[in-house]
Amino acid sequence: MATSAIFILDLKGKVIIYRDYRGDVPISYADRFMEKVAELEDAGKASPIIQDEGVTYLYLQHSNLYLLAVTKSNVNAASTVYFLHKLVEVFTKYFEQLEEESVRDNFVTVYELLDEMMDFGYPQFTEANILQEFIKTEAQKMDVVERKAPMAVTNAVSWRSEGIKYKKNEVFLDVVESVNLLVNANGSVVRSEIMGALKMRTYLTGMPECKLGLNDRVLLESQGKSGKGKAVDLEDMKFHQCVRLARFESDRTISFVPPDGAFDLMTYRISSQVKPLIWIECTVNNSSRSRVEYLVKAKSQFKARSAASNVEISIPVASDATAPVVRASQGSAEYAPEREALVWKIKNFPGGKEFLLRAKFSLPSIEGDSSVEGGRKQPIQVNFEIPYFTVSGIQVRYLKVIEKSGYQALPWVRYITQSGEYEIRMN
Amino acid sequence: MSSKDAKRFFNSGAKKGEIHELKQELKTPDKSKKKDVVKKVIAAMTVGHDVAPLFPDVVNCMQTDDMELKKLVYLYLINYAKTQPDLTLMAVNTFVKDSLDPSPLIRALAVRTMGCIRVDKITEYLCDPLARCLKDSDPYVRKTSAVCVAKLYDISPELVEERGFLENLKDMISDANPMVVANSVAALSEIHSMSGKPVFDLNSQTIFKLLAALNECTEWGQVFILDSLVDYNPKDSKDAESVIERIIPRLQHANCAVVLSALKVILKFLRYVSDNDFKGPMMKKLAAPLITLLNTEPQVQYVALRNINIIIQRHKEVLSSNIKVFFCKYNDPIYVKMEKLEALIKLANEDNIDQLLLEFKEYSTEIDVDFVRKSVRAIGRCAVSIAESAQKCINVLLDLIETRVNYVVQEAVIVIKDIFRKYPNKYESIISTLCENLDTLDEPEAKASMVWIIGEYADRIDNADELLETFLETFPEETSPVQLQLLTATVKLFLKKPTEKPQQMIQLVLSNATQETDNPDLRDRAYIYWRLLSTDPEAAKDVILSEKPIIADDTSALEPEMLDELMNNIGTLASVYQKLPDTFVARVRPMVQSASSFNPEADVVENGAAGDVIAEQSAPVDVPDLLGGLDGLNVSAPAPAGDAPAPSGGAPDLMGDLLSLDVGGGAPAPAPAQAAPAQPAGGFDPFGLDSLSAPVSSMPVQQTELPVILAADKGKGLEIRGKLERSGGQIVYNLSFRNTTAGVLDGLMIQFNKNSFGLLPGGALQVPALQPGSSGAAKLPINVNVQGANPAPARSALQVAIKCSQLGVLYLSDTISLGAVLTEEGRLQYPNFQQMWQAAPPANSQTQVFQVAGASQDAVVAKLESGGLFCVGKQMNAAHFSGKLVLGALALVEVAMQPGSPAVQVTCKSQRVDLLPLLMEFVGKTML
């Protein structure tokens, strides 16, 4: 039912941390794990959950570390894997960087945290900001603080402590939308979806009650307000545990007592097709055996009052291409052999514009080994950001903060759209 | 300790001298220095250095009000207590004292740590503090104590029961604090499943409390509660609906484990809902949360996808309009891509196939060879499962063959063979394209597939003989699947084009396959063909060119019972492995080892002997005798390798051995079992073969009777047939094993998963070592342990694990026929029967009408009596039966019929309602 032990290993498999919860998987299993991982990776069959002689290893890699949970029972795999990700989150909050160095430097804190976050292999508590109130690192312990019992740990509101005070009460809300797009070589859109996230930073006194209003179509229609302005179909919303889910289910009100500081309030997904924000057309001309020519057209398909920034278009190029001659009508383009790609960067790309790029390469006159052909066909990948803009049209209608002391809190809302997995396949 | 110090210890570790040094340093009175030293000790411990000699010195530091130092010492204790049980007692006082500390943090820490010290002596002292802390005023202490009960149960279940801690835990389900409730649920669930005792009673009252806590507790607590809810069986449809409504908001949670566990409970409870107006919209709500799981970290996606691939086997409709979300992204890790591909294949239908084929074709040009192969297979699997798409699939496959990428071509050939099997006489026009690529084929499976195609369509391929001939040149070097296909294909060629060249080829193949090989499968098949061809070529045609059974795509389909179980295990490792928990979770279970009551049946010995004979005689030295004897049949035998002496007295023995070997070994398809009894025609009987006919004809009977329960291709080459039967007041598992691998298989062992009838193997499996190609049989007596039976509802599934030294553990699923679990004591007195029959409430009764052609009461009575039911009374139009199951439950059956009408109305009653469907099915089957 539960995890037997948690390991933190370096990439060579050396144990840095070993917290045994059940006494049935000894430390020596770290070696077996490494052997098994190496074996599976060689065979190209690696997966994040592996089994060997009755022991299951669930793991992930983070910077130069493996975080590994072992068990001999039928654990809840989703819970265990997610717990490992939570470990990363908590340790990162504690040590800024989670890497071999920081774990070694803070190993006492790591053990303390593992003791509090899991008991007998059951995940217990993973709210970093509450843990920080009673488990501190060497550096944070500058002034000796009286250690109180962690009230919040067992409270219904387990993510916020009482008695928080701010002179100025502020809430920052970022609405971030990532666009995932997949276009086939023939130019047809295979998949397009928007992944949205509402990221919050709260600096609020006491135990504030917050209520968030969005232009959610279901909510507006139920209130008979569908006529006013644009409403958005939010397909699947996922909430931070502070949001009252039962309340949302009954009347779609997003109400919560927020944690202190930064957290992701909610995510949502919209899969209705949107016009690709930046459209790329690429023609490759293999006129002769030793020359290849690329003509790339990039077009911004959003309103002229917005502008995309930090646009980076990466166009795959044969690995044996040499002597590039590149000309771009905007921005700068460079051949990056290590990525086998031509990287075109445009700092500012206003809406409704079109830019061109021409590139010529030399190819070796001897054709490569034909057995490797049919190999990797990288897609064109595009990165960009469009500030003050959301593709979906989502809007924060209001964010109410009510606290018994009656202060006024200032909400600051920002919108931004960025590229997610934005891929255009090539012929 | 500075980080520099820590590094020094991580890198160099504690050497002998340093242990001494640390010992001295630990004696320092300076508190903060002491803490630094203990840190050094822990650092050394972490990297695996043995710092056990410091035990007394470290424990001495335990009495401190420095929280951090205390935690460090406790950590040390957890690691080394086992090695120093006596010294650990020194710590008891401090623990007990800490458990009374004013700070709840310290009280909890004491209880938590004590529970982790798995030393008997400590455990005794743990009980009093634990009893106190379970009732602590602080919820933090109570939630820690709840987990501690599970820890204690792991060390000493007796103590937990003695001290009544289970009762405490049950009371804590009503605790005001949600985290205490959640941890108590986790502890109770674990004890429940460890002990196999019903310690955790889920009734509507507890459910109410759990659902209340669900809204309040941490995300992890929600997972514990949801996972426990899946064991609750709702009373009725309304009950199920109300629980679902309480759980549905959890689908909006950011934690993927909460979402998956909620899905698990909802999907289970939906099966109890009868109101379709509730069900339909509810099912629709499940799609979005499932899809969102695909936008998480890759490891989480992997777990989600493995689960989705289970869920869509039952509820394809939930996701079939959302295939695009499973399209692979360029940067997806390979394990995610493979699972997405599997989901796409499962969701393929007539409407989306065009889109899918475009994707599959795209994937077939990727770099990862395994992924490419699976993509090509995907096209083949779609062609087989969606008839309308076959032509489109073929076109894509032809495009792929054009690429001439070696492994793509090979994979395409393999799936095209399946398409030919599924749709004979439709797509043969493409054979010529395939033939152009003969020389690229170098993998056994692709070669074997191509050879099969040539043989199957020998009459349509003009130069089939030439094509086969090129393969025959390397016959001795080929792998055995290719050799077997070559043999069959050549025979097909000869039967279809009985001209001179094929005749020469067949002689070459037969001589190669009989003399030059030590593969018994190949040799057996060659002999069978030889005999068929030489005695009755028409019969050979009937056998070898017979119509083949239709194939279907069930590459990854799960058995319905297995699927049921996995659906209840969504989110767990079982769902990731797609195996039942009992098959990979090591659990101490009493193994029945005594075999004294069991005498291996004679045929086991016989088969074993036959196996040995093969090993001894696998060299071709004895074969010339036989060949000499067969000389002069209408296929002229190839020249024997050695002299051809006159038939000697030893020859019939050899023949006998070979025949029993044929039968036991069972030539693989396409030569079905009918091949064996074919007798020499025309009275040509040089060795008095007639006298051997008895064993020949009796043994295949056994083989055809026992159904295959694990096909060779699923069992890594071990084919298992078997049936549960009742004989002589005992349940017996008749099993037969056939080894189709190239090596010897031995060390067979058997184990059953917990089942509805408490069946357990009643002895060790007595099967001799299986030589390649040989078979062995066993009669395994079955014991019944009613206490160990799965609770209701009863299912007929029997999950069996077979272990073999060479192949590891194989899993299979068999069905328990009610006939095997009906006892001999089932006869009731008629008055008793009538009394019970009338007393049975309507809920415990089920009626169904069967159509039995030409049914007569006498025939039905005879059939049911032979099936294990007892006829206790007959009336004009009705007969009454009683039976008693090994579980102790009675089965009452009434069979009513009108003379001359095929309609037979069967009414079954039993105190176990869940048995009724099984009983009804059994009666229906037995009557037919």
pLDDT digits over B721-732, tens only? Answer: 888 888 777 888
Residues B477-532 pLDDT 10s = 888 899 999 999 999 998 888 888 888 888 888 888 888 888 888 998 999 888 88
Tally of CB atoms within 10 A around A42: 9
Inter-chain residue contact B140 with A153, CB threshold 8 Å: yes
> What is the pLDDT confidence band of residue A376, given thresholds at 50, 70 and 90?
low
For residue B585, give the nearest of A72, A83, A237 by CB distance. Answer: A72
Domain that includes residue B847, residue range: 821-927
Closest among B354, B407, B342, B427 to B381, alpha carbons compared: B342
Closest among A73, A80, A66 to A25, alpha carbons compared: A73
Judgement on whether residues B16 and B153 belong to the same structural domain of the protein: yes
Inter-chain residue contact B116 with A120, CB threshold 8 Å: yes
Helix (H, G, I), strand (E, B) or coil at B739: strand
Inter-chain residue contact A377 with B42, CB threshold 8 Å: no
pLDDT of residue B424: 84
Q: Give mean pLDDT, residues A210-219.
A: 91
* B553 in a structural domain: no
Q: Backbone phi, then psi, for B718, in 5-degree steps?
A: -100, 120
Q: Backbone phi, then psi, for A299, in 5-degree steps?
A: -130, 130
Shortest alpha-carbon distance between residue B254 and chain A (Å): 5
* B320 in a structural domain: no
The length of chain A, given as a count of residues? 427
Residue among B35, B227, B299, B587 with most chain A CBs within 10 A, to mutate: B299
pLDDT of residue B446: 92
Shortest alpha-carbon distance between residue A36 and chain B (Å): 16
Q: What angle (nearest 5°) sits at the alpha carbon of residue B46, between those of residues B41 and B48? A: 100
Q: Are strands A332-336 and A341-350 parallel, antiparallel or unpaired?
A: antiparallel
Residues B48 and B52: their CA atoms lie apart, in Å, by 11
Q: Give mean pLDDT, residues A339-365.
A: 91
* A371 in a structural domain: no
Tally of CB atoms within 10 A around B629: 23
pLDDT of residue B826: 82
Structure tokens at B199: 């310690």
Residues B794 and B891: their CA atoms lie apart, in Å, by 14
Q: How far apart are the first and last CA of chain A?
A: 49
pLDDT of residue B926: 84
Burial of B86 (0-12, 13-18, 19+ CB in 10 A): exposed
Judgement on whether residues A97 and A13 belong to the same structural domain of the protein: yes
Judgement on whether residues A183 and A269 belong to the same structural domain of the protein: yes
**Contacts of residue A76 in chain B, CB cutoff 8 Å?**
223, 227, 257, 261, 571-572
Which of B201, B229, B257 is at the close of a domain? B229
Q: How many CB pairs under 8 A join A and B?
A: 256
Residue among B195, B291, B572, B587 with most chain A CBs within 10 A, to mutate: B572
Residues B101-137 pLDDT 10s = 888 888 999 999 988 888 877 888 889 999 999 999 9
Which of B816, B841, B864 is at the close of a domain? B816
Inter-chain residue contact A239 with B359, CB threshold 8 Å: no
Inter-chain residue contact B177 with A75, CB threshold 8 Å: no
* B715 in a structural domain: yes
Q: Give mean pLDDT, residues B460-468.
A: 86
Quick check: A7 and A70 in contact, CB under 8 A? Answer: yes
Judgement on whether residues B183 and B72 belong to the same structural domain of the protein: yes
* A339 part of contact set with chain B, CB < 8 Å: no
**Contacts of residue A79 in chain B, CB cutoff 8 Å?**
220, 223, 257, 261, 571
Closest among A224, A214, A240 to A390, alpha carbons compared: A214
> What is the pLDDT confidence band of residue A279, given thresholds at 50, 70 and 90?
very high
Inter-chain residue contact B190 with A104, CB threshold 8 Å: no
Inter-chain residue contact A184 with B218, CB threshold 8 Å: no
Distance of alpha carbon B468 from the chain centroid:
39
**Contacts of residue A195 in chain B, CB cutoff 8 Å?**
295
* A197 part of contact set with chain B, CB < 8 Å: no
Q: Is the pLDDT of residue A367 over 80?
A: no
Quick check: B119 and B107 in contact, CB under 8 A? Answer: no
Judgement on whether residues B809 and B832 belong to the same structural domain of the protein: no
Inter-chain residue contact B330 with A379, CB threshold 8 Å: yes
Where are the alpha helices (H) located in B103-164, listed in sequence order? 104-116, 120-133, 139-155, 157-162
Judgement on whether residues B707 and B751 belong to the same structural domain of the protein: yes
Judgement on whether residues B870 and B812 belong to the same structural domain of the protein: no
DSSP per position, B583-643: HHS----------TT-PPPHHHHHHHHHHHHHHHH-SGGGHHHHHHHHTTSSSPPPPPSS-
**CATH code: domain of residue B896:** 3.30.310.10
What percentage of chain B's residues is helix, strand, coil (to nearest 5)? 60, 10, 30
Inter-chain residue contact B300 with A20, CB threshold 8 Å: no
pLDDT of residue A401: 94
pLDDT of residue B611: 35
- B-proximal residues of A, 15-74, CB under 8 Å: 15-18, 20-23, 27, 44-49, 51, 54, 56, 58, 60, 71-74
Q: Is the pLDDT of residue A412 over 50?
A: yes
* A237 in a structural domain: yes
Q: Is the pLDDT of residue B679 over 50?
A: no
- Number of domains present in the structure of chain B: 3
Structure tokens at A131: 């843990």
| Residue corresponding to tokens 């993927």 | B256
Shortest alpha-carbon distance between residue B92 and chain A (Å): 20
**CATH code: domain of residue B669:** 2.60.40.1150
Tally of CB atoms within 10 A around A237: 24
Inter-chain residue contact B573 with A44, CB threshold 8 Å: no
Cβ neighbours of residue A1 under 8 Å, at least 6 residues apart? A73, A74, A75, A121, B186, B189, B190, B193
Inter-chain residue contact B257 with A82, CB threshold 8 Å: yes
Closest among B898, B924, B682 to B818, alpha carbons compared: B924
Judgement on whether residues B89 and B115 belong to the same structural domain of the protein: yes
Q: What is the mean pLDDT of chain A?
A: 88
Which of the two residues, B641 and A349, has the higher pLDDT score?
Answer: A349
H or E segment to which residue B848 belongs: strand B845-851
Residue among A6, A58, A190, A238 with most chain B CBs within 10 A, to mutate: A238
Domain that includes residue A296, residue range: 278-365+377-387
**CATH code: domain of residue A117:** 3.30.450.60
Residues A11 and A106: their CA atoms lie apart, in Å, by 19
Residues B728 and B716: their CA atoms lie apart, in Å, by 35
Inter-chain residue contact B253 with A134, CB threshold 8 Å: no
- Name the closest residue on chain A to residue B7, using Cα atoms: A104
Q: Give mean pLDDT, residues B368-384.
A: 92
Q: Is the pLDDT of residue B562 over 50?
A: yes
**Contacts of residue B115 in chain A, CB cutoff 8 Å?**
120
Closest among B160, B138, B136 to B149, alpha carbons compared: B160
Residues B582-619 pLDDT 10s = 888 865 333 333 333 333 333 333 333 333 333 333 33
Distance of alpha carbon A263 from the chain centroid:
13
**Contacts of residue A244 in chain B, CB cutoff 8 Å?**
215
Residues B394-422 pLDDT 10s = 999 999 998 888 899 999 999 999 999 88
pLDDT of residue B460: 84
Judgement on whether residues A288 and A269 belong to the same structural domain of the protein: no
DSSP per position, B871-914: EEEE-SSEEEEEEEBTTS-EEEEEEEE-TT--EEEEEEE-S-GG
Inter-chain residue contact A122 with B183, CB threshold 8 Å: yes
pLDDT of residue A138: 66
Residues B264-277 pLDDT 10s = 999 999 999 999 99
* B334 in a structural domain: no
Judgement on whether residues A15 and A142 belong to the same structural domain of the protein: yes
Q: Is the pLDDT of residue B866 over 80?
A: yes
- B-proximal residues of A, 272-331, CB under 8 Å: none
**Contacts of residue B116 in chain A, CB cutoff 8 Å?**
21, 23, 120
* A167 in a structural domain: no
Name the range with the highest mean pLDDT among A307-311, B188-192, B479-483, B623-627. A307-311
Closest among A67, A129, A106, A171 to A399, alpha carbons compared: A171
Closest among B352, B362, B468 to B408, alpha carbons compared: B362
The torsion of the CA quartet B873, B878, B879, B880, rounded to 10 degrees, works out to -80
Residues A53 and A56: their CA atoms lie apart, in Å, by 8
Residue among A86, A126, A154 with most chain B CBs within 10 A, to mutate: A154
* B571 in a structural domain: no
Residues B664 and B609: their CA atoms lie apart, in Å, by 11
For residue A371, give the nearest of B151, B303, B406 by CB distance. Answer: B406
> What is the pLDDT confidence band of residue A44, given thresholds at 50, 70 and 90?
confident
* A161 in a structural domain: no
Q: What is the mean pLDDT of chain B?
A: 80
